[in-house]
Amino acid sequence: MKYKLTTNLYLNDILKTKFITLTCMLIFISMQGQTIIFDNLLNKNVDENGMVDYQSLKKNEALLDDYLIFLQTTKPSKNWSLNKQKAYWLNTYNAYTIKIILNNYPIKSIKEIKKKGKVVWKIPFIKIGKKNYTLDWIEHEILRKKFNDPRIHVGINCASISCPKLGNFAFSEDNIETALDNLMLEFINNGNRNKISENKLELSKIFDWFSIDFTKNGTLVDYLNKYASIKVSEKASIKYLTYDWRLNIK
C-alpha cells in the first residue's frame, strides 16, 4: 500500500511537471505569434526611415487591437529575462502610441492629443492586467528606472519627425540587443537629427532632456563616440536643435 501511494505521488509529480512545461510552451507560442502580428504590421506600414502609413494602419486597426489585447493579458513575470521584459515594454509603448494616433487621426502632431487637460503622455489609456498606465509611466518609471539603458530612447517612438525613427519591426528577446544598437547607430549618425563634427555638435534635444541617462558612465561625448562615424573631441562645442513635433506620417 505504501509502495502504491509513493508511485501515485511520483506519477502526480510527473503529470504536474508535464502540465507546467506544456503551459509554458503554449504561452511561448502565443507570445511569438502575437509579436509576429505586430512585427508584420510595422513591416508593412513603416518605411526604412521610420515614416508611418497611418491610413493603412487605420484600415488594419483590428489587427493592432488584437495585439493590444494580448499585451493587456500578458504582463511580464519575474521569470522573464530582462531582455524579454524590455522588449515587451518597448513594444507596448510603441503599439499604444500608434493606437492613440489612430484614435485621433487625422492630426498634424501628437501634441494635439489632450484629454481632460492632460497631455497625451499623461493620459492613463494603457491597460495592462488590472492597472492603467500612461506613456510617461512606462518610459520613466519602468523603462528608464528598471533597465538603466540609454538605448531605450531610440527604442520608444513619440510619432514625431525629430524622434529616433520607429523601427519597422517588433522587439523580441532575441533581437533587442542588436536592434537597439543599430537604432542608436542610425540615430546618432543621421544628419537630420544630429549634426556631428570633430569640434562642433548640434544634437537632438533627447541628449539634453535625458542627459543623465547618457552620462552615467562617462561624458556625453564618450557616449557619442561609441556610435559616431566621426571621432568627437572632448572640447567640442554643444548646442541642441529645435525639436520637430510634426507627425511622422508617410
DSSP string, 50-103: S-B-HHHHHHTHHHHHHHHHHHHH----TTS-HHHHHHHHHHHHHHHHHHHHHH
Domain presence at residue 135: yes
Provide the whole-model pTM. 0.88
State the Cα–Cα distance between residues 246 and 41, nearest whole angstrom: 22
178-190, pLDDT tens digit by residue?
Answer: 999 999 999 999 9
Q: Is residue 123 part of a domain?
A: yes
In a domain, 219, yes or no: no
Rounded to whole angstroms, the Cα distance separating 137 from 121 reads 8
Q: Which domain holds residue 62?
A: 2-175
Alpha helices in 74-215 (DSSP H): 82-104, 135-136, 145-147, 152-155, 176-188, 206-209, 211-214
pLDDT at site 217: 95
pLDDT at 6 over 80: no
Mean pLDDT computed over every residue of the chain: 91
The answer to the question of residue 231 being in a domain is no
Q: Does residue 128 fall inside a structural domain?
A: yes
Res. 10: pLDDT tops 80: no
Identify the CA nearest to 210 among candidates 240, 190, 234, 237. Answer: 240
Q: Which residues pair with 200 in a beta bridge?
A: 237
pLDDT one-digit tens code per residue, 167-210: 999 999 999 999 999 999 999 999 999 999 999 999 999 999 99
**pLDDT tens digits along 115-150:** 999 999 999 999 999 999 999 999 999 999 999 999
Helix/strand/coil for 2: helix
Q: What is the pLDDT of residue 28?
A: 45
Position 24 scores a pLDDT of 42
Cβ count within 10 A of residue 223: 20
Q: Which residue has the higher pLDDT, 27 or 59?
A: 59
- What confidence tens digit (pLDDT) does each residue in 50-91 have? 999 999 999 999 999 999 999 999 989 999 999 999 999 999
Indicate if the pLDDT at residue 30 is higher than 70: no
- Kindly state whether residue 45 falls inside one of the protein's structural domains: yes
Q: Look at residue 127 and tell me if it is in a domain.
A: yes
Q: Is residue 153 in a domain?
A: yes
- Counted domains in the chain: 1
What are the grid coordinates assigned to 114, written together?
Answer: 489632450
Residue 206: alpha-carbon gap to chain centroid: 16
